[in-house]
Amino acid sequence: MIHPTDPWFPHAGPGADDAEALVICFPFAGGGAAFYRPWIEAARAKGLALLAVELPGRGRRQGEPLLRQAGAMAEALGPALRRRLDRPFLLFGHSLGALLAFETARHLRRRYALLPDALIVSGRHAPDEARDPASHRHALALPALAEELAGLNGTAPEVLAHPELLPVIAPMLQADFAMTELHRHRDEAPLDCPLLALAGSDDPEVAPGEITRWRRHAAGSFRQVTLPGDHFFLRDHRDRILDEWCAALTPDRAAA
């Protein structure tokens, strides 16, 4: 049963318990569960309950300590998520969210002997890929952090237009960037579930060719889809992504 006041899933609305399948969505760096609110009704129309994860320290969870390690996030989320996994489910995440979805899948396997019906990762390099040692957004102070945000094209324009808001969100951004930039991959067996990797054709953060390297983390089937757009291509392709969710959960409903 999905409890509407669970802090991890603040936007679980009426009808979620009646859905045929669950889609657990993880936020990108600096984002929150609210990003996925416009997706909830569209998902419900396809028989899916969308549960958007709210990390500590943002949204309705402001005041809670920020997390700086993906593994710690997966462990903290585990009990709340496990109680809801009574039907087919997939994990979806974009950018930092892709890493969080991946680590959550591995935690569910280790702790509960559970695997998602599919893992869909978007806009992030494979978790075992060595990154440029110059990646240091987590250590940037204002105004350099603001310049980075403007370049990523993912921050709401009203935030960038009001510099007084940046000190409020800077700690959250630094923690999120630390989670992805300082991640230390631990080798485990590939996940025995279908894995779909989504790429943006013009993503300056990760090229489509890099996305392909997620393949080695899939013991099951692997597929890659490249969509037009920059790092935040998912904003322009919601319907296509929902179709991919349906195809992953129940292939014969992909065109529903």
- Please, what are the domains in the chain? 16-130+189-253 (3.40.50.1820)
Per-residue pLDDT tens digits of the chain, which is 256 residues long = 555 568 999 987 656 677 899 999 999 998 899 999 999 999 999 999 999 999 999 988 998 999 999 999 999 999 999 999 999 999 999 999 999 999 999 999 999 999 999 999 999 999 998 665 446 788 777 777 777 776 666 565 556 666 777 788 888 889 999 999 989 999 999 999 999 999 999 999 899 999 999 999 999 899 999 999 999 999 999 999 999 999 999 765 444 4
Residues recognised as catalytic: 95
d(CA 76, CA 51): 16
Half-sphere exposure of 239 (CA within 13 A, CB side): 2
CB atoms under 10 Å from CB of 221, counted, come to 12
- Determine how β-strand 21-26 pairs with β-strand 48-52: parallel
What H or E segment, with its residue span, contains residue 90?
strand 89-94
Q: What angle do CA 134, 154, 77 make, to 5 degrees?
A: 85
55, 51, 53: which is closest to 22 by C-alpha? 51
